[in-house]
Structure 1
């Protein structure tokens, strides 16, 4: 999953197929990033992929090895992060930690 979403290509359909076949959406890659971090950092328009991951049960609060959560990656690398950030902040059960 990490390689797929880090490719900078729109990969939502491939992401869906992998998740439907049991890929672990909360796995941490060798860089210390979750799939959600990779989507927030590397996907040009991450909104749909983030929504899919949240609907599939991804943990929006997980932190990368550097202490960043997905909000940090969006704020630093996404050209238009507002919609994606809103998704994370509204996510259940407690949403993303804005104070992380």
Structure 2
């Protein structure tokens, strides 16, 4: 990776300039913009628009969750399940054979002082 770039996925041109990248990563970002699946899909389309042809997208998202907490702060989540994610990627133009969806269960840890 040579640099990270900030963007606004709510905009049609999220970078403010036309550019295409061979590798795009997003870790718990796109699905944490809103609880709306429609907004999530729009943001994913905008993210996909900056991917180079035959580029790679590595994405992590919360599964089946409407929100998550970090300390006392609550963040939204689009509450997507595996099938919704898969079919959304197909509708965005990803090739069926290029999509790999893996679910990793998260174990909640209790922290006591």
Query: Normalised by the size of structure 1, how large is the TM-score?
Result: 0.46
Name the larger-Rg structure: 2
In proportion to residue count, which structure has more strand?
Answer: 2
**Which is helix-richer, 1 or 2?**
1
